[in-house]
Structure 1
Amino acid sequence: MKKYASLMLATTLAVTGISFSGNTASAESIDGLENKINELEKEQSELKEQQGSISGDKSDTEGKMNENEKEQSTVDSQIKSIDDKLTKIQNDIATKEQEITSTNDEIKKLEDRMIELKEEIKVLKERIKERDELIKKRLRAIQKSGGDMKYIEVILGSKSFGDFINRSSAVNTIMDQDKTILEEQQADKDSLEANKAEVEESKASVEKKKVALEGQKEELVALKDDLADQKDQKKTLMAKLEKEYTDLEEYKISLEDEQQILAAQAEAVEKAKNLAESEKGKLEQLAREEAARKEAEKREAEKRQAEQAKASSSKTASASSSSSNSSSTGNTSSGSGLFIWPAAGPKTSDYGMRHHPIHGIDKLHAGMDIGASTGTPLKAAATGVVIRAGWMSGYGNTIMITHNLNGKTYTTLYAHLSSTSVSAGQTVSQGQNIGQTGNSGGSTGPHLHFEVHEGGWNAAKSNSVNPMKFF
């Protein structure tokens, strides 16, 4: 895991072991500052590498977001196309249903016509039956009278030409009537069969049409169901893409936050390096002055050696001066490795894995929670440099401070604040009021969320540790 490092400006002199006493400078302090400058330059190089890596991640994330937006646009167009098809199919189904209704009406009319025909057939059958009886009677009468010969006898039996004409006309009339009866009988039978065949054919045709329409409707309904399934799949895909885009957007924001934090850390390291170089220059100047003073003392001592009476006095003064310098050189400051409780209130949630109260999933709780009401004064847990003071996604109003304790770098984070009273780049002392607790960001109630990271702040929380070990 890459190390995020920064140096506390306020305690640089104490950490590097610089000490002054009058015009005396410690050579060891100069070496310590030289080492510290080298360490700071190494940290600057690491920070630049980390900044380049984050820039690459951000660029890659933005590319993924662009691809996601394109895919969302494509899926949205597909959903609209499916909606258009569904609308058309729904209209087609409605049309088919209307046609089926019309066909049912037509079938009903034909069925009614069949009922009417049955009545007509009944009447025709009665009429045919009566004609059959009449024809049978006529045939029997003809058979008994010898057929057409009787008609000739009637004609030949005429008493006069006029009687002949009358008798011929009568015979023709009788024969025409017989012929008419037979023709009517055949016509009725033909009409009956034709009407029956026509209605049955029409009904069969209409029923066939109905079957075809119902088949077409079933196909349309199946297609509608298929399109509805496709639409559901596209909506599921769209929801997935939107979730991915939200995750990418949050990750991009976290990278931007990390960029700002790294920039603040780099600025803090640069300030520390400049201060160390400045103090090194001062110490080197003091060392040169010390060397010149000792050279002058040496010449003075050699001069006094000629005077026996004053030699003892000169040695005593020199020993006193040496004792004073030795005491001054050993006066180094040591920093505290402990944090103070940052806000008045009890611990309400521990560091570690837990079921997130907002997101509803198991994830790392990278700090601890302190039950503090809104407006409770917030204290710096240790002396350090503020590297961030402002809004952070999920954290709300947030302060981050980098500390150097016993030669090791730590970053503390204070989240969900109602207000902040410090700014990035500001040096703060342990116990200094830096803001007020609150309920901003992703919070279910007023409290202080407090994190400790070994090194610089890490968005992945991989270097977070249990804060309780520092109290």
Structure 2
Amino acid sequence: MKKVASSILIAGLILMTIPTSGFHVSAESVGDLEKKINDLDKEQSGLNDEKNNLEGNKRDTEEKLNKNKSKQSTVEQDINSIDEELTSTQNNISNKENEITETNNEIETLTSKINELTERIEELKEEIKILEDRIEKRDALLKERLRTIQQNGGDMKYMEVIFGASSFGDFISRTSAVNTIMDSDKTIMEAQAADKKVLQENKKEVEANKEEVEVKKVAVEDKKKSLENQKEELVALEGQLKDQMQEKETLMAQLEEEHQDLEEYKLSIEDEQQVLNDQEKAIKLAKQQYEQEKGKLEQLAKEEAARQAAQEKASQSSSRSSGSSNTVASTPAPTPSGNGMFIRPTSGPVTSSFNPNRMHPIHNEIRPHNGTDFGKRSSADARIVAAADGVVSTAGALGSFGNTVMITHVINGQTYTTVYAHLNSISVSSGQTVSQGQQIGVMGTTGGSTGVHLHFEVHPGGYKNPVNPMNYLN
């Protein structure tokens, strides 16, 4: 199994080879290891606090998500209700428009009928004028006849005419003439009465019909006005419903966006929880290594004490014997090649430095560049390696980072997280222990990237605390 160890831990392993003169050094190393173990305990306690805080944030986020879903459900019901009412209103408007069209047709029919009656009235006026002239002439004739009859003594003159006949034939002729005259007078009188009656009936009929049609037209026009008012109310209601629908749809869009943000935040919390879990795993492994090293040093110290006791006992039994004490020089611990605790993750050149106020090349706005970018000059530069020993906390696609590896390290009792983003391929898995210099992937341009490069970050104390990586590299 691959071993998680810091440079201090490696130095501690080297100290295990120190013989007699190394006791004091070993004792100091045990104390150092105890301090480192205590520091790791504190670090682990801090991680537990962070995990508790994250769990609380996750519960709050889930509660907000549930409330958001409830609001979305309510708004969706409102939208459906408004949509039903809007559909009903639009149907009512269509029906009112059909009724108004029918009413307009009815008004046109009545107007046409009124026009016909008006024309008929004009025709009757001509007929009435003719009748009035005829009646006027008959009145004059009748008046003349009456005047003549009155002047001649009325009906008795007819008797004189009849009985004044000179012969029977003359009698018959005179009788026939009198009957003719009397029939003519009767016909005139009857025609006069009939004309007067027709005149009155025609006037009455036309005026009644016109009045009836005009009354009906007024009623239909009132009906049309009422329908138009109802349509205006429905159109106003339709406008209100459309405004309500737009407000609800806007609210729904906001809720959906909020829900998406909460989901993303929840995922980020879960990712951070995973990072903390892996950091905790790395701390436990480092603590285990320190404790094992401490045990070895304590055993060395016991063996050294026993050896010195044996030497003292041997020197007492052989007081005359002389000898020279052998001194074994300790092997000095190796020094790092640079001034940092991490090696460069690639041999490629720096193409973009750490910058909190960099203009983003894609979004064209000021966004912090929380790492250092390394470019690719040759195929050798594409090889990405772990900057230090550690445990892989993330290995996979991660938003705009694309294919990403995150490694948790414990160095001198301090946790660090390194980030390797935009990889073309990944050769490690989450939870895997890696050694410094071990290949973890190949440089690429996945995620939000404008070209093949490696985006490298360093986070002391765990993720979410970016610093300039160049200050930590050899």
TM-score tier by shorter-chain length is 0.7 to 0.9
The residue type equivalent to 2:283 in the other structure is V
Q: Which residue of 1 aligns with 2:340?
A: 337
1:52 aligned residue: 52
Q: Find the counterpart in structure 1 of residue 279 from structure 2.
A: 265
Match status 1:185 vs 2:188: no
How many angstroms does 1:127 deviate by?
0.7
| Contact 1:16–1:32 (Cα < 8 Å) also in 2 | no
**Rounded Cα–Cα distance in structure 2 between residues aligned with 1:409 and 1:267:** 11
Q: 118-127 or 444-453, which moves further after superposition? A: 444-453
Map of 2:171 onto structure 1: none
Q: Which is further off, 69-78 or 156-165?
A: 156-165
Question: Aligned partners of 2:211 and 2:280: how far apart in 1?
Answer: 101
Q: 2:151 and 2:470 mapped to 1: Cα distance? A: 142
Q: Does 1:401 align with 2:407?
A: yes
The aligned counterpart of 1:450 is: 456
Match of 1:9 in 2: 5
Change (3 A) 1:139 1:428: same
Secondary structure of the structure 2 residue equivalent to 1:394: helix
Deviation at 1:172, TM superposition (A): 4.6
Say if 1:386 and 1:428, in contact at 8 Å, map to a contact too.
yes
2:426–2:440 Cα contact (<8 Å) kept: yes
Alignment-derived partner of residue 120 in structure 1: 120
Matches of 1:280 and 1:287, distance apart in 2 = 10
| Corresponding residue of 2:253 | 239
Matched with 2:308 is 294
Q: Distance in 1 between matches of 2:92 and 2:155?
A: 78
Aligned to 2:33: 33
Q: Is 1:366–2:380 an aligned residue pair?
A: no
Closer/same/farther in 2, CA of residues 341 and 34 from structure 1, 3 Å limit: closer
User: Distance in 1 between the 2:120 and 2:129 partners?
Assistant: 14
CA contact 1:346–1:372 (8 Å) conserved in 2:
no
1:22 to 19, 23, 37: 19
For each residue in 1:247-282, what CA deviation from the matched residue of structure 2 results, as whole angstroms up to 9, or x when unmatched? Answer: 111111111111111111111111111111111111
The percentage of aligned residue pairs carrying the same residue is 46
Query: Which has the greater radius of gyration?
Result: 2
1:254 aligned counterpart, secondary structure? helix
Paired residue type of 2:296: K
Q: In the alignment, which residue of structure 2 is the partner of 1:466?
A: 468
Contact 2:279 2:391 in 1 (8 A): no
Partner in structure 1 of residue 351 of structure 2: 347
CA contact (8 A) 2:286 2:410 kept: no
TM-score computed with the length of structure 1 as normaliser: 0.85
Matches within 5 A, 1:150-299: 150=150, 155-159=155-159, 171-299=185-313
Structure 2: distance between partners of 1:374 and 1:92: 74
Using the TM superposition, name which of 358-367 and 206-215 deviates more: 358-367
Letter in structure 1 aligned against 2:468: N
Map of 1:3 onto structure 2: none
CA-atom RMSD, angstroms? Answer: 3.1
Cα drift, residue 456 of structure 1: 0.5
Pair 361,172 (structure 1): closer, same or farther in 2 beyond 3 Å: farther
How far the C-alpha of 1:243 sits from its partner, in A, is 0.7
Q: Which TM-score applies when normalising by structure 2?
A: 0.84
1:107 matched to 2:103? The reply is no
> Residue deviations 1:23-82, cap 9 Å, x none?
654110111111111111111111112112111211221121122112112212222222
Partner of residue 70, structure 2 = 70
Find the residue that maps to 1:342 and give its secondary structure.
Answer: coil
Q: Matched residue of 2:318: which SS?
A: helix
Distance in 1, matches of 2:276 and 2:46, equals 10
> Given that residues 5 and 389 in structure 2 are in contact (C-alpha distance below 8 angstroms), is that contact kept between their aligned partners in structure 1?
no
Q: 1:276 to 1:185 in 2, by over 3 A?
A: same
> Which is further off, 165-174 or 280-289?
165-174
Tell me which amino acid in the other structure corresponds to 2:251.
L
1:360 and 1:63 map into 2 onto residues whose CA distance is: 35
The letter for the 1-side match of 2:19 is G
Q: For 1:457, what is the secondary structure of its paired residue?
A: coil
- Which sections of structure 2, spanning at least 5 residues, go unmatched? 164-174
SS in 1 for 2:420: strand
Find the aligned partners of 1:393 and 1:118 in 2 and give their Cα distance: 85
Taking structure 1 as reference, are residues 151 and 212 closer, same or farther at Cα in structure 2, changes over 3 Å only?
farther
CA pair 52-408 structure 1, distance change in 2 beyond 3 A: closer
For the 8 Å contact 1:402–1:411, the answer to whether it is kept is yes
The change in CA–CA distance for 1:70 and 1:150 in structure 2 (over 3 A counts) is farther
Q: Distance in 2 between matches of 1:153 and 1:182?
A: 29
- 1:151 is displaced (CA, Å) by 11
Distance 1:127 1:374 in 2: 117
Q: Tell me if structure 2 keeps the 8 A contact 1:62–1:252.
A: yes
State the number of aligned residues.
Answer: 448
Matched, 1:413 2:415: no
Question: Partner amino acid for 1:84?
Answer: E
What is the CA–CA distance in structure 1 between the aligned matches of 2:59 and 2:427, rounded to whole Å? 34
Structure 1 residues 53 and 195: alpha-carbon distance in aligned structure 2, compared to 1, 3 A threshold: same
Amino acid at match of 2:340: G
Matched, 1:391 2:397: yes
